[in-house]
Amino acid sequence: METGSQVLLPALLMPAPRRLSFALLQCAAWLLAYGLVVAYLGQRINDLLYVCSFTLVAFASYAATIYGYVYGLSPWLYHRLPRWAFVLAVLAFLGLVGLGRFYLEAYVVRPHFPSAHNTFLNGNRGHLGYLSVTICFAFGFGLLAQAALRSVALQQQKDELENKQLQAEMNLLKAQVQPHFLFNTLNNIYYEAYLEAPRTADLIEKLATLMRYFMELSRLERVPLQAEIAFLRNYIALEKIRFRHELSISLEVEADEQLPVPPMLLIPLVENLFKHGFDKRQRHNAAHLHLRQAGGWLTFEVSNSLPEALAAPSAGGFGLRNLRERLKLLYGGRFELTAGAEGQQFVARLTLPAQP
């Protein structure tokens, strides 16, 4: 839903020179219209000063109607009031403008020109009808002006988005040089390490695979489950080297590894495991990861023991909250994400549709 600040017209969003040009253009349009009306009425009424005064009051009411609605009522009240209340506010506003104009015409202009149109500006039915019709006409023009200006604003926003997208694409083309350089360098380091330290070379290869997944596959809408599993295995292998004592982590897969799934859905549960599920002071830490497909559902379960020296992992950490929001966008309410203690185990479980 748009807010009042979002409905403000493009004139307020323009740079200062363009705002000045826009204001001067409006002033010129008002002066031109005013001159045409005065010239037209001057041919029928002999008193030019009366014509100028009468037309000035009328144009002041038109300007108050148009700008009052376009820059006041519409942006600040349209989305804050119920529709019926907004309609009443508009009618009250038009009534106030009409009363102000009636006062000026009947009690300011008419006393100074008693011989000119003396029978018109006297509050009779003709006077009130003319006043009402012209203010309603000005209000209708204000509606059209608002629609036109909003169209200009939308076009301006569209142009800005297209320019930003073009700039982003250019930046992406420039940035593509760096990943190629990085992967080529990692390949060279891998070759050197393979000759001297094969284990280090294996870790470098896993790191390069992780980075390639981040930069290429993670941008896709769907990836094969096999790629997600390989990503998890490489991540686990690299995380293990941060621990002084050996970790016992098993990954059991009972699912179609060609099943297309959104990328990066399983890793938050594994990240949560390494962040909260292991005690680095303890010699033995164990966890079991189980990925299974059954009955049209895919379930990923991460469980680890709860030693007394280790507090229960967080069930609502930042990573899991982000995962839950992403799942809502992808599946609506057709998923289940839980994390909590189950006996002597802490279990994080994600269940989502196994959609082909």
pTM, two decimals, is 0.48
pLDDT tens digits, residue range 219-273? 788 899 999 999 899 888 888 887 887 888 999 999 999 999 988 889 889 988 8
pLDDT > 80? residue 188: no
For residue 296, give both structure tokens: 């049209």
- CA angle (172, 175, 178) in 5-degree steps: 155
Return the closest-CA partner of residue 54 out of 108, 99, 100. Answer: 108
In this prediction, residue 91 carries a pLDDT of: 92
Q: Per-residue pLDDT averaged across 288-311, rounded? A: 84
Angle CA 21–66–32, to nearest 5: 55
For residues 42-67, give the mean pLDDT.
88
Say which residue, 298 or 214, is predicted with more confidence: 298
What is the longest distance spanned by two Cα atoms in the chain?
111
What pLDDT digit, counting tens, does each position of 331-355 carry?
A: 888 899 998 888 888 999 999 998 7
Mean pLDDT of 187-201: 72
- Token pair for residue 151? 């169209």
Q: Among 31-35, 62-66, 307-311, which stretch is predicted with the lowest mean pLDDT?
A: 307-311
Q: Report the pLDDT averaged over residues 290-304.
A: 94
pLDDT at residue number 277: 82
Q: Which residue has the tokens 């002006």?
A: 145
Confidence of residue 154 (pLDDT cuts 50, 70, 90): confident
φ and ψ at residue 253, rounded to 5 degrees: -120, 125
* Mean pLDDT of the residues in the chain: 80
Token readout for 13 is 């969003």
Strand partners, 304: 287, 346
Q: 276: which 2 tokens?
A: 């909260």
DSSP lists the bridge partners of residue 292 as 254, 299
Closest CA to 143 of 94, 196, 92: 94
